[in-house]
């Protein structure tokens, strides 16, 4: 019964997390500088004091790994209404290792199944609630965006294109205009219509470079109308931005405002064969 009980315990713990391998991995530390040799030696000396032999050290590490896997999942489970008693968790672990379970294996399996069923139901309920919340947020953001664009389009200097994209020229440019296959170098700042900033190359102190046809539709359209040296303010409807899904920093169906400064148009390099042929023809 010992082997079956331990396997069952592992299955139960794995069910608590979204990653079934979580309990087999020690908790990873935050990214830091590479550890120095002196630190490694100190850790080895500390481990030597705590554990009389490698078997003790490995056994401890496995136990700690299992506990950390459950600890990482516990907040999410408790948020769904589950409560866990530490003394019973420890007793169940010890009883499984010692083959002295206070309930039969059939009862243990039935308990696991009941827990899984309830957990699946709560997860489905949570997912449905989150889906409704996203849909409500999407509808609200879409309406706010339409109202904003309708009002903004009436302001002096704001032009509205057929696509729905709006722009205002802050500074005219005098250089080349890019095609959709060109690469451009720009400085920019992006905000939501409430003024909340979500990105800025100015803050990073480094311009961004990218192909004109590899960005959101509103940018692709606007950049081809701008000349080097131009600085525009763009007002981009959600369907020309990040759509209904948004991003981790941009809510779904958000209308966006960008300040864009076109610093340089980097022409797409000629393919090697075409360039060679052109050179041979001219010589």
Catalytically active residues are 188, 198-199, 216, 242, 258
DSSP code, position 83: -
Q: Are 65 and 22 in contact (CB under 8 A)?
A: no
Q: 150, 193 in Cβ contact below 8 A? A: no
Determine the Cα–Cα distance for residues 115 and 258; give it in Å rounded to an integer.
Answer: 49
In this structure, the chain runs to a length of 283
Opening angle at CA 279, ends 273 and 280, nearest 5:
90
Q: Are the C-beta atoms of 235 and 149 separated by less than 8 Å?
A: yes
* Of 114, 22, 29, 104, residue with least CA distance to 71: 22
Element (H, E) at 185: strand 183-192
Instruction: Give the Cα separation of 187 and 259 in Å (integer).
Output: 8
184 contacts: CB under 8 Å, gap ≥ 6: 178, 209, 210, 212, 223, 262, 263, 264, 265, 266
Angle (CA) 178-199-226 rounded to 5° is 20
Q: Where are the alpha helices (DSSP H) in the chain?
A: 2-15, 37-50, 54-79, 86-98, 105-152, 201-204, 217-223, 272-282
Contacts of residue 250, Cβ cutoff 8 Å, sequence gap at least 6: 192, 198, 241, 242, 256
């Amino acid at each position: 019964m010992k082997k079956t009980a331990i396997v069952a315990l592992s299955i139960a713990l794995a069910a608590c997390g979204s990653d079934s391998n979580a309990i087999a991995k020690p908790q990873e530390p935050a990214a830091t500088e590479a550890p120095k040799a002196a630190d490694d030696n100190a850790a080895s000396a500390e481990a030597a004091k705590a554990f009389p032999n490698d078997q003790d050290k490995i056994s401890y590490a496995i136990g700690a790994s299992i506990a950390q896997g459950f600890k990482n999942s516990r907040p999410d489970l408790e948020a769904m209404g589950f409560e866990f008693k530490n003394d019973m968790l420890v007793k169940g672990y010890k009883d499984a290792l010692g083959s002295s379970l206070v309930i039969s294996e059939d009862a243990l399996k039935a308990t696991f199944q009941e827990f899984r069923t309830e957990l699946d139901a709560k997860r489905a309920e949570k997912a449905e609630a989150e889906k409704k919340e996203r849909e409500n947020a999407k509808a609200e953001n879409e309406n706010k965006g339409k109202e904003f664009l309708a009002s903004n389009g009436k302001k002096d200097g704001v032009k509205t294109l057929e696509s729905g994209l709006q722009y205002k020229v802050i500074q005219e440019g005098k250089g080349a205009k890019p095609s959709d296959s060109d690469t451009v170098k720009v400085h920019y700042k992006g905000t939501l219509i409430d003024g909340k900033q979500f990105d800025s190359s100015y803050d990073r102190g480094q311009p961004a470079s990218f192909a004109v046809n590899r960005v959101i539709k509103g940018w692709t359209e606007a950049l081809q109308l701008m000349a080097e040296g131009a600085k525009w303010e763009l007002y981009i409807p959600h369907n020309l931005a990040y759509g209904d899904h948004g991003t981790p920093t941009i809510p779904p169906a958000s209308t966006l405002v960008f300040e864009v400064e076109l610093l340089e148009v980097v022409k797409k390099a000629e393919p090697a064969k075409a360039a060679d042929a052109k050179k041979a023809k001219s010589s």
